[in-house]
Structure 1
Amino acid sequence: MRTVIVFNHPYEGSYCNAILESVSKGLQESGHEIDLMHLDNDAFNPAMSSADLKAFIEHRAIDPQVTDYHERLKKADHLLFIFPIWWDIMPATTKGFIDRVLSPGLAYDHHPRGFGLIPLLNNLKRVTVITTMNKPGIMYSLLIGNLIKKVMIKSVFKTMGYKNVSWINFTSVKRVSHEKRVKWLTNLENRFSKFN
């Protein structure tokens, strides 16, 4: 299988980078081919320009980087996002990827009857979202309302028609012990080493 990883964290020493390393090791152990879209290293521009929006409406892309991402996504069996939760939601660069890359004509199209969307990434069997946050999970769930679940899972992928979508969230990352963070990484590597 081919896994496209969309990664967004600008700091190389982040826990997200440790997650990327563990997940990649696990996927390689299970025989996956990995295609990494490192949005920060790629200097991906999240801002939608007027020219981008015109192309979006016409179901095409004018930015060569977006076109390249499109071609790579078409080959994905598994799409995996890794990013931190900042101010209760994804970073701007991840949001820009959703806006500019997961576009009509590529990721989805409008239903011919005029209601709802239909998925177009025909090879895609599953979507996984992995996030980190410093807030306790219960606080995020009760006070904020699990925005990642609402936005990434329901509003984006489920609305587009993708069925097999899951979310793994690591909470209170700065507060837990080093040993617990290491255990999380080991569990992730083991989990994705059995991934098919």
Structure 2
Amino acid sequence: MQATRALIVYCHPWAGSLNHAILGAVESSLKRDGVPYDLIDLHADGFQPAYDQKELSLFSRGETNDPLVSKYLGLLKGCDMVIFITPVWWNEIPAMLKGFIDKTMKSGVEQAYTEGKFGVIGHLDNIRKAYVLTTATSPRFYLRFMAGNGIQGLFMNATLKQLGIKHSKWIHFGRVTSASPERCKAYLTQRAEAHYTI
């Protein structure tokens, strides 16, 4: 089933990276399939991932003094599919993407979650599917079984599910530093030809 609106959350600082090429391939796929989308480019936006004292003082009220946080939450609540494009650094998502989760996921009925008796009740259930596209020097089996399972176990099956995003798919490109140009090109072709659906 085709999404009515997608959101790409892109987290990489270098335009010459494979991640940036993956972003272009995903955008090509969405355009080909006629799926409207918005793009959050955390580094290009100059997003500040760490709380300052003032913003942390607003946390308990679900408020922010960062206009990007308000913008990002609005985009999340206005889509039904989200595509994360990120490297894996030291077995987990980078600090920039972790800061995006930390700061954007505000508590409150009209926000990302509320606190229930037994934990977090997610309100991003408008997002019916999440794709998590990662690159790393480590292969997928190593990240899953030998390095703490930070992507599938923690980010997808814990954090995203807590926020109400119940269905997600992990697509990983490992051994990136030793990958041949031919292997990279083949992977980019796969990403451009793929259909991102809900």
TM score, norm. by length of structure 1: 0.91
Is the contact made by 1:7 and 1:37 (CA closer than 8 Å) also made in structure 2?
Answer: yes
One of 147, 162, 165 as aligned partner of 1:144: 147
Does residue 60 (structure 1) correspond to residue 101 (structure 2)? The answer is: no
Secondary structure at the aligned position of 1:174 is classed as helix
Is the contact made by 2:122 and 2:162 (CA closer than 8 Å) also made in structure 1?
Answer: no
1:195: which partner in 2?
197
1:108: which partner in 2?
113
1:179: which partner in 2?
182
Amino acid at match of 2:58: A
- Please give the alpha-carbon distance, in whole angstroms, between the structure 1 residues aligned to 2:184 and 2:28: 17
Secondary structure at the aligned position of 1:124 is classed as coil
Alignment of 1:1-196 (within 5 A): 1-105=4-108, 106-111=111-116, 114-192=117-195, 195-196=197-198
* Alpha-carbon offset, residue 24 of structure 1: 0.7
> Which digits, 9 at most, give the CA deviation of each residue in 1:114-173, with x for residues without a partner?
113322134321111111001233333332132111221122111233211121111111
Q: 1:119 to 1:159 in 2, by over 3 A?
A: closer
* Alpha-carbon offset, residue 77 of structure 1: 1.1
TM score, norm. by length of structure 2: 0.90
Is the contact made by 1:27 and 1:195 (CA closer than 8 Å) also made in structure 2?
Answer: no
Secondary structure at the aligned position of 1:82 is classed as strand
Amino acid at match of 1:101: T
- Please give the alpha-carbon distance, in whole angstroms, between the structure 2 residues aligned to 1:102 and 1:39: 15
- Please give the alpha-carbon distance, in whole angstroms, between the structure 1 residues aligned to 2:62 and 2:94: 25
Q: 1:64 to 1:134 in 2, by over 3 A?
A: same
Q: Extract unaligned runs of 5+ from structure 1.
A: none
- Please give the alpha-carbon distance, in whole angstroms, between the structure 2 residues aligned to 1:167 and 1:32: 20
Q: Extract unaligned runs of 5+ from structure 2.
A: none
Q: CA RMSD in A?
A: 1.6
Q: Which runs of 4 or more aligned residues in structure 1 lie more than 3 Å from their structure 2 counterparts after TM superposition?
A: none
Task: Give % identity.
Answer: 35
* Alpha-carbon offset, residue 64 of structure 1: 1.3
- Please give the alpha-carbon distance, in whole angstroms, between the structure 2 residues aligned to 1:73 and 1:110: 19
- Please give the alpha-carbon distance, in whole angstroms, between the structure 1 residues aligned to 2:168 and 2:119: 18
Is the contact made by 2:91 and 2:148 (CA closer than 8 Å) also made in structure 1?
Answer: no
Secondary structure at the aligned position of 1:73 is classed as helix
* Alpha-carbon offset, residue 178 of structure 1: 1.3
Would you say how many aligned residue pairs link Structure 1 and Structure 2?
Answer: 193
Amino acid at match of 1:189: A
Amino acid at match of 1:27: L
